[in-house]
């Protein structure tokens, strides 16, 4: 059933019907359920606004008392006056005080007495009138919380979990004056977590504890493994990154968290790039089997900040009801891409899993994918069911540019690491020799093919140093209009107009700047990228140095993707050593010899590549000027 969204600023409608004390999931005795969905009947202006501090089981600031999480709550007045119990939408974030949330970087605001008067984003404006409470928690060591931010670790996750426990009567909390705060007086405990970037990452982490009462999560552009966020298969993304993130969001005096900061520096182990106990603590994927909550993922297929393996490897492990949106932009919230459809879908998702309304959303196709700017399709699952992994040989071609498919003979390619070679220069002009890279091209496609899943390239190499970094890029050569995810807005342009999504007060309006897709016409585009430290080829837990007189097989996994390559276009594979844009190269200056006979590209394809010619086709591809600055040293952007 298509529902009509209310886009006007709503001042709130007071309920005139007696409210049952039963949970909203009863659906028959509450005024906010009508026609199988929740509707706005409660006053947002008159809502209860309060703050509590939830006690956690940890004390990582070592002050001798349990750390506390500051929680700001907006809930219908009827939960206090008429004993209505409602479910909760919870966002845990480190950004509420330091940096802001959403496209307009909104922060929490308080009145002179310390009472919350403005929550970032539209979740409270839209959902509180519909019979939900909205709870915004400052992660440990940020905002008004105590403890110390440990960047994806136990303090962060268990602190947010304690909020879910409190909502279900299993943890203690107090008001500012020290009096007990009891959540079970106004909530039925059914909790959903939501958030973009770091906020969505903590939702993944809390779900992986299996905490009871967490009924659903909506991770947007979120991390499922902090190692894979800060390391690319042993390749260092940026030096001192955990410490940088800690300082960026820290809300405590420096001396209070000096020990935590020292542990982040020591245990993250920049020197080796190894996966160790520190990273295992911040890897939620092995605990996917513990997840009880349903999961609704949203992620940009061209997100270069939180890369696509974060959603792909999480999605594939989940055994719960799940749904996913994939889109062509970068690190962008779907609220700023496809606003009406996103709010409608999110509303139905929360109604299903928090209000218990059987609205059919869990029986619809699981996956919605943007296949081209503004063109969306629905599918049953991901990767695409018809996709089959195909092994594609690396042919010798003309001896300079190789072919995808075809005979390699005894051909060898040799190049020396050029750490200053940019991505733009590496992928341009693939028919010419460029120092520091080698190129392979398919024949022009006779019909469209689709890459759906996780490609990789297996390389048989001999290296004159104990290790080298290896970089692979899959490129679509062909002119098309594409989402400009490398531009300043990562695929969107912010407009001067506004639209409103819920009820407002003088301090907290529900109106947000509209956006439009940012498009570019280009003669080529990166389909996916991948990186591998050769010394970590055997295991990410330890290094195995290479001997200069031996051949080794090294597989470079690329990021998951779902892209259609049009008929007439050419698919290219570009190989480099270190990459100075998406990582902090630890260049050894190695010279790499590549044996084409022992090397191949593994592609999850719908369709097939055409048979190659004896030589690669001529391709015109100019370097693309861009305002993009890869997020090497940036935090997870709000």
Q: What would the DSSP string read from start to end of 240-285?
A: THHHHHHHHH--S-GGGGHHHHHHHHHHH-TTT----HHHHHTB-G
SS3 179: coil
Q: Which domains does the chain carry?
A: 9-379 (3.40.50.1820), 388-512+521-606 (2.60.120.260)
Buried b (16+ CB within 10 A) or exposed e, 171-202: bbbeeeeeeebebeebbbbbbbbbbbbbbbbb
Q: What is the pLDDT of residue 624?
A: 64
The parts of the chain modelled with pLDDT lower than 50 are 1-27, 626-638
Question: For tokens 């993922």, what's the residue?
Answer: 297
Strand 552-557 with 322-327, pairing? unpaired
- Residues with Cβ within 8 Å of residue 176, at least 6 apart in sequence: 51, 53, 114
In the numeric block, which tokens belong to residue 459?
């390389």
Integer Cα distance of 361 and 224 in angstroms? 25
Cβ atoms within 10 Å of 448's Cβ, excluding its own: 13
Provide Rg for the chain, Cα atoms.
26
495 burial (CB, 10 Å; 0-12 / 13-18 / 19+) is: exposed
Strand 86-93 with 68-75, pairing? unpaired
DSSP state of 435: T
Q: How many Cα atoms sit within 13 Å of 382 on the Cβ side?
A: 35
Q: What is the pLDDT of residue 630?
A: 47
Integer Cα distance of 360 and 402 in angstroms? 51
From residue 428, alpha-carbon distances to 422, 423, 456 in Å are: 10, 9, 21
Among residues 25, 51, 197, 602, which one is catalytic? 197
Q: Could you confirm whether 197 is annotated as catalytic?
A: yes
Cα 551 to the center of its chain, rounded Å: 37
Q: What is the pLDDT of residue 623?
A: 73
Q: What is the pLDDT of residue 483?
A: 97
Q: Are the beta carbons of 217 and 190 closer than 8 angstroms?
A: no
Q: Could you confirm whether 299 is annotated as catalytic?
A: no
Q: Could you confirm whether 331 is annotated as catalytic?
A: yes
Q: What is the pLDDT of residue 585?
A: 79
In the numeric block, which tokens belong to residue 115?
């009472």
Q: What is the pLDDT of residue 544?
A: 97
Q: What is the pLDDT of residue 530?
A: 98
From residue 24, alpha-carbon distances to 77, 101, 168 in Å are: 15, 29, 16
Among residues 331, 347, 524, 569, which one is catalytic? 331
Q: Are the beta carbons of 139 and 85 closer than 8 angstroms?
A: no
224-239: pLDDT as tens digits: 999 999 999 999 999 9
In the numeric block, which tokens belong to residue 207?
């779900």
Buried b (16+ CB within 10 A) or exposed e, 286-302: eebeebebbbbbbbbbb
φ, ψ of residue 522 in degrees (nearest 5): -140, 160
Q: What is the pLDDT of residue 105?
A: 93
Q: What is the pLDDT of residue 19?
A: 34
Q: Are the beta carbons of 622 and 479 closer than 8 angstroms?
A: no
Q: Which of 452, 317, 314 is nearest to 377 (CA)?
A: 452
Question: For tokens 């107009």, what's the residue?
Answer: 497
In the numeric block, which tokens belong to residue 260?
């935590």
Q: Which of 597, 145, 136 is nearest to 393 (CA)?
A: 597
Q: Which of 82, 144, 84, 86 is nearest to 110 (CA)?
A: 144
Q: Are the beta carbons of 476 and 603 closer than 8 angstroms?
A: no
- Residues with Cβ within 8 Å of residue 123, at least 6 apart in sequence: 89, 91, 134, 194
Among residues 270, 303, 336, 417, which one is catalytic? 303
511 burial (CB, 10 Å; 0-12 / 13-18 / 19+) is: middle
In the numeric block, which tokens belong to residue 613?
């010619």
Integer Cα distance of 542 and 538 in angstroms? 8
Q: How many Cα atoms sit within 13 Å of 116 on the Cβ side?
A: 29
SS (H, E, C) 498-509: EEECEECCCCCC
In the numeric block, which tokens belong to residue 354?
């928090």
What is the maximum span of the chain, computed from C-alpha positions, in angstroms? Answer: 83
Whether the full predicted model's pTM is greater than 0.85, yes or no, is: yes
């Amino acid at each position: 059933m298509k529902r009509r969204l209310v886009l006007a600023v709503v001042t709130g409608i007071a309920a005139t019907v007696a409210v049952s004390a039963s949970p909203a999931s009863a659906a028959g005795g509450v005024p906010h359920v009508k026609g199988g969905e929740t509707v706005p009947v409660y006053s947002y202006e008159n809502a209860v606004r309060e703050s509590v501090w939830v006690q956690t089981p940890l004390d990582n600031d070592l002050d001798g008392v349990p750390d506390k999480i500051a929680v700001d709550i907006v809930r219908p007045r009827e939960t206090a006056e008429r004993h209505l119990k409602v479910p909760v939408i919870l966002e845990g974030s480190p950004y509420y005080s330091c940096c802001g949330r959403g496209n307009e970087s909104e922060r929490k605001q308080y009145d002179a007495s310390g009472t919350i008067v403005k929550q970032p984003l539209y979740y409270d404006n839209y959902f509180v009138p519909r019979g939900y409470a909205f709870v915004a928690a400052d992660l440990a060591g940020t905002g008004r919380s105590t403890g110390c931010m440990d960047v994806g670790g136990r303090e962060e996750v268990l602190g947010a979990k304690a909020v879910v426990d409190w909502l279900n009567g299993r943890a203690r909390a107090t008001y500012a004056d020290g009096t007990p705060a009891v959540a079970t007086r106004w909530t039925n405990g059914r909790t959903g977590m939501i958030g973009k970037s770091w906020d969505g990452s903590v939702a993944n982490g809390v779900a992986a504890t299996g905490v009871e009462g967490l009924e659903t999560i909506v991770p947007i552009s979120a991390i499922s493994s902090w190692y894979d966020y800060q390391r690319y298969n042993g390749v260092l993304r940026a030096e001192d990154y955990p410490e940088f993130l800690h300082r960026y969001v820290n809300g405590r005096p420096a001396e209070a968290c000096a020990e935590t900061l020292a542990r982040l520096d020591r245990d993250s182990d920049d020197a080796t790039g190894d996966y160790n106990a520190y990273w295992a603590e911040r890897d939620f994927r092995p605990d996917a089997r513990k997840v009880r909550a349903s999961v609704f993922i949203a992620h940009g297929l061209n997100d270069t900040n939180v890369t696509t393996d974060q959603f792909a490897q999480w999605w594939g492990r989940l055994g719960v009801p799940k749904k996913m949106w994939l889109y062509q932009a970068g690190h962008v919230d779907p609220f700023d891409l496809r606003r009406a459809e996103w709010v409608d879908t999110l509303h139905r998702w929360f109604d299903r899993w928090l209000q218990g309304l059987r609205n059919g959303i869990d029986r619809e196709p699981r996956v919605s994918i943007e296949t081209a700017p503004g063109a969306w399709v629905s599918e049953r699952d991901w990767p695409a069911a018809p996709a089959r992994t195909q092994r594609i040989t690396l042919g010798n071609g003309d001896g300079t540019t190789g072919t995808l498919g075809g005979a390699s003979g005894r051909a060898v390619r040799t190049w020396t690491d050029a750490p200053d070679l940019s991505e733009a220069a590496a992928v341009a002009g693939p028919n010419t020799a460029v120092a520091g890279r080698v190129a392979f091209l398919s024949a022009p496609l006779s019909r469209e093919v689709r890459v759906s899943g996780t490609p990789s390239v297996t390389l048989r190499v001999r290296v004159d140093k104990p290790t080298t970094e290896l970089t692979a890029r899959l490129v679509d050569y062909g002119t098309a209009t594409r989402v400009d995810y490398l531009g300043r807005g990562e695929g969107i342009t912010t407009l001067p107009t506004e639209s409103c999504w819920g009820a407002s007060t003088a301090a907290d309006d529900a109106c947000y700047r509209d956006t439009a897709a940012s498009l570019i016409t280009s003669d080529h585009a990166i389909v996916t990228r991948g990186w591998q430290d050769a010394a970590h080829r055997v295991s990410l837990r330890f290094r195995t140095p290479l001997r200069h007189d031996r051949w080794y097989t090294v597989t470079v996994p690329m990021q998951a993707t779902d892209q259609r390559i049009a008929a007439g276009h050419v698919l290219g594979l570009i190989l480099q050593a270190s990459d100075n844009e998406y990582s902090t190269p630890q260049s050894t200056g190695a010279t790499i010899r590549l044996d084409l006979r022992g090397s191949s590209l593994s592609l999850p394809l719908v369709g097939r590549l055409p048979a190659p010619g004896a030589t690669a086709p001529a391709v015109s591809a100019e370097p693309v000027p861009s305002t993009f600055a890869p997020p090497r040293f940036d935090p997870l952007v709000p």
